[in-house]
Amino acid sequence: MTYQTRDTKAQTRGGRVQEDEATTPSRGAALARRDRTGLVALAVPDLEEPYFAELTGLLVRRAEARGLSILIQQTAGVHEREVTVANGVGLPPTDGLIHIPRSLTVADLTRRTSPGPLVLLGEHIVSSPFSHVTIDNRAAAMAATLHLVERGCRRLAVVGPRHTTPSDAADRRVAGFRDAVRAQGWEVDSDLVGPVGAFTSHEGQRAMRTLLDAHEPPDGVLCSNDSVAFGVMRELHVRGLRVPEDVAVIGIDDVSGAEFATPSLSSVAPDKSAIVDSALMLLERQIAAPPAADVPVEQVVVGFTLRARESTAR
């Protein structure tokens, strides 16, 4: 099932961006451009997270097809590092920046010491005077949870809130889970909410172990991402619980390993191609603009597809 989300300013359809007449000028667009370098910086939180690794690989390939090279900067979501990259400190001259922030603020960006073409990815900074590409994580999680309900699950758990290391994506995904549960007229069982310290398989297994040690098993689990889901399924296997017969499991991000897990993992797949193509198009539009031009700010929300596989085939 494919979902196309809407945005008040712009959205993608078929990988192309539709603009709204009410868009506002981009900061830094009026500054004189330096000579083109063909180099674009990419700030990414964690390349060990499969989703970011796959998105980065796709960005590199699509950029090469446009005659651009990508300079990858891993920030670990650390505020100081994100600010440093946004300011271009320690970087060679670049034509622009694609930034996936975890802790950066609008104030940080408006104070950039080296302003220039910029596109943000993700939901950490939802409203800003900078072009932005994202998915609706809340809607994605709600769709995943409703899929569990449709498969007959009634005792639902969510593994993935991040209390010690906050994540906007995790917060919105948990909110979507709560929306779906309450839409059935049910209450969210606090005993079936398993926090994680990071989006990793180790944390997913640990959280599921803690949950099972203290409570009756759920019959359906939404995981905040696929890496967490792999850990959850491992712990269920260790406990002798069958997936999906005893417990159905679904993740979000649809990383390449989801299809090859045993059982294969159901997941919500963001339109990665639309994310990458939109980001590069928006950045190139800023790069190509003549000095003193007002380049429209565009907020793009791309769709997602729910891929049902064996882990929810009850």
Residue 10 pLDDT greater than 90, yes or no: no
Amino acid in position 258: A
Residue 291: predicted pLDDT: 76
What's the CATH code of the domain at 221?
Answer: 3.40.50.2300
Residue 30: predicted pLDDT: 37
Tokens, residue 277: 């193509």
Residue 176 pLDDT greater than 50, yes or no: yes
Rounded to an integer, the average pLDDT of 219-240 is 98
Residue 181 pLDDT greater than 90, yes or no: yes
Q: Which residue has the higher pLDDT, 125 or 122?
A: 122
Same domain, 146 and 69: no
Amino acid in position 206: R
Residue 25 banded pLDDT, cuts 50, 70, 90: very low
Same domain, 208 and 119: no
pLDDT in tens, 198-220: 999 999 999 999 999 999 999 99
Give the chain's mean pLDDT.
Answer: 90
Residue 29: predicted pLDDT: 40
Specify which residues 17 forms β-bridges with.
12
Same domain, 10 and 109: yes
Residue 128 pLDDT greater than 80, yes or no: yes
Q: Structural domain tally of the chain? A: 2
Same domain, 125 and 210: no
| Least confident window among 1-15, 65-79, 157-171, 276-290 | 1-15
Residue 96: predicted pLDDT: 97
Same domain, 265 and 198: yes
Residue 4: predicted pLDDT: 56
Same domain, 64 and 100: yes
Same domain, 241 and 281: no
216: Cα separation from own chain's centroid: 31
Q: Which one, of 38, 45, 109, lies nearest residue 71 by Cα?
A: 38
Domain membership of residue 50 as a residue range: 2-135+270-303
Residue 167: predicted pLDDT: 84
Percent of the chain whose predicted confidence (pLDDT) is above 90 = 81
Same domain, 79 and 184: no
Query: CB within 8 A of 104, min separation 6: which ones?
Result: 79, 82, 83, 86, 124, 125
Same domain, 19 and 115: yes
pLDDT in tens, 143-174: 999 999 999 999 999 999 988 877 889 999 99
Q: Which residue has the higher pLDDT, 171 or 16?
A: 171
Provide the b/e sequence for 57-86 (b: ≥16 CB within 10 Å).
Answer: eebbebbeeeebebeebbbebeeebbbbbb
pLDDT in tens, 57-108: 999 999 999 999 999 999 999 999 999 999 999 999 999 999 999 999 999 9
Residue 26 pLDDT greater than 50, yes or no: no
